[in-house]
Amino acid sequence: MEVAGLTTSKCIDWMGGVGYTRSFPVEKYFRDAKIGTIYEGASNIQLNTIGKHLDAQY
């Protein structure tokens, strides 16, 4: 998610103000990347969850 957020943010910066309009798909990608980190949790929380599942398996 961090890579998606950084990439779409740079793309919007490159496009200027028009990057925030709904005329281009990059605006939707930016929103999707942001909601992904909110919905799925921060990277540290995701790593802890993965670690718990791996620890339970082995």
Which residues participate in catalysis according to the annotation? 40
| Contact status, residue 27 vs residue 20, Cβ threshold 8 Å | yes
| Contact status, residue 5 vs residue 31, Cβ threshold 8 Å | no
| Contact status, residue 26 vs residue 19, Cβ threshold 8 Å | yes
